[in-house]
Amino acid sequence: MSCCCLRLFKKKYRNQPDLSVSLYNINSSDISLQNTFVDSKRHPDEENQIKHYEKGSLSASKVQKDLETQLQDISTEPEEINEESKLPDKTPSNNKPDFESMFNPGFSIILPCSSEVLSEEKHFEQLLSWESDRSWKLKVTKTFARIYLQKGTEENPELPMVKACFDMEINANPIDLYSLLYDVNTRKLWDKSSVGEFIEIYKTQDVVGYYMLNKAPWPFSDRDFIERRFIRKRDNGDIEVYYREYPAQDFQPPKSKAERGRTLFGGQIFRKRISQISGEPTLLVTLVSQADMSGKIPAKALEETLPNSLLKWYRTVRKELLKQVSLNRTDK
């Protein structure tokens, strides 16, 4: 992801279903007033009321007529009630699936990993914590994406952090995307416009040291990075990646026409889930990054260009992933 924020500098600086409630409405036709007074035995309260009226020179028939009128008024009241007023407010936002809630590890188990990866556990947990943190400032909202910005960490407060949650809308596996991004030969083949060099320094089962030169549009200088990538997997197929700068200057000194960038924190999570939007299997991607691009790129410029850079990253990677998945299925 180190290269995605460079691509736009040239342009810039040059349901759930509705819920309803069925009301049982009693109509006046459901009440037979004639049957109300069939019983020869009156209610004690009614007898007392009749005697009271008789003392006031009113006949029992008059009292009974008054009572019938009151009952009739009561029986007709339900017809005047608007049933729709009793239904819950059908606010669309209440029925929309929660996009952000899809991005979580669920009840999965972390698979065995090397001691090097275990030593980075706090950074993996920080990645998951930032992923679920909704206090970040939302900058971009799409049906397939949310992109956020946040002020830098205590160690590097001047450099903004960016977080993106993407629904790739492709029935692909996490390993498909991981290979697309990190297999050296594959990446150099499809990403020629931004990757100048991609060299693995060393590689173990779940840790990789590598050098990458990212091309930048004129008039900006190219950026190169030396990073170490740690990979953690779960029993449900999730892949979590944490990467940061790797102090291996002796391996590849900065090139004369390139600025040496520094990745202070980089995280990626690839998950296969059932989309709450479409109901179909899909690949979900979370990206979190804080990088020092060095050179003459101010932090304010990064804040303005990072969201669009990530959208461009999404479209480019999705296009290539779709090709790769289609090719794999054809081969089978």
pLDDT tens digits for range 136-149: 999 999 999 999 99
More confident residue, 86 or 193: 193
**For 126-130, 137-141, 192-196, 226-230, which range has the lowest pLDDT when averaged over its residues?**
192-196
- Positive or negative: CA dihedral 85, 90, 94, 95: positive
Judged by DSSP in three states, 125 sits in helix
Q: What DSSP string describes 255-276?
A: PTTEEE-EEEEEEEEEEEEE-T
pLDDT of residue 216: 82
What is the percentage of the chain residues whose pLDDT exceeds 70? 66
**Calpha distance 324→330 (Å, rounded):** 10
Give the least confident one: 74-78, 98-102, 184-188.
74-78
pLDDT higher than threshold 80 for residue 33? no
- Contact between 325 and 172 (Cβ < 8 Å): yes
pLDDT band (50, 70, 90) for residue 251: confident
User: H-helix or E-strand containing 132?
Assistant: helix 121-132
Question: How confident is the model at residue 162, as a pLDDT?
Answer: 95
Question: Confidence band (pLDDT; 50, 70, 90) for 42?
Answer: very low
Rounded Cα distance, 139 and 265, in Å:
20
Per-residue CA distances from 238 to 1, 178, 227 (Å) = 19, 11, 22
Which range (74-88, 192-206, 285-299) has the least confidence?
74-88
The per-residue pLDDT for 130 is 97
CA-based nearest residue to 116, from 203, 245, 212: 203
Tell whether the model's pLDDT for residue 96 goes beyond 80.
no
What residue ranges define each of the domains in the chain, with the CATH number in brackets?
28-86 (no CATH), 97-331 (3.30.530.20)
For helices 299-331 and 174-182, angle between their N-to-C axes, nearest 10 degrees: 120
More confident position, 257 or 200: 200
Residue 326 pLDDT: 85
Q: Say how many C-beta atoms besides its own lie within 10 A of residue 247's C-beta.
A: 9
67 vs 63: CA distance, rounded Å: 6
47-61, 67-81, 312-326: which has the highest mean pLDDT? Answer: 312-326
Residue 78 pLDDT > 80, yes or no?
no
CB 282 within 8 A of CB 257: no
Residues 14, 148, 265, 152, CA torsion sign: positive
Residue 287 pLDDT exceeds 70: yes
Given this model, what pLDDT does residue 293 score? 78
d(CA 278, CA 167): 11
DSSP element (H, E) containing 313: helix 299-331
Residue 259 pLDDT exceeds 50 = yes
Nearest-CA neighbor of 220 among 65, 15, 8?
A: 8
**For residue 272, what are its two tokens?**
């296969």
Amino acid at 222: D
| Burial group, residue 11, by CB count within 10 angstroms (0-12, 13-18, 19+) | exposed
* pLDDT band, very low/low/confident/very high, at 36 (cuts 50, 70, 90): very low
Return the closest-CA partner of residue 238 out of 270, 210, 264.
270
Q: SS3 of 317, please?
A: helix
Residues 6+ positions from 190 with CB-CB distance below 8 Å:
180, 320
Average pLDDT of the chain? 77
Mean pLDDT of 282-286: 98
Encode pLDDT of 99-124 as tens digits: 888 999 988 999 999 999 999 999 99
pLDDT average, residue stretch 176-182: 97
Of all residues in the chain, the percent with pLDDT exceeding 90 is: 48
Per-residue model confidence (pLDDT) at position 64: 55
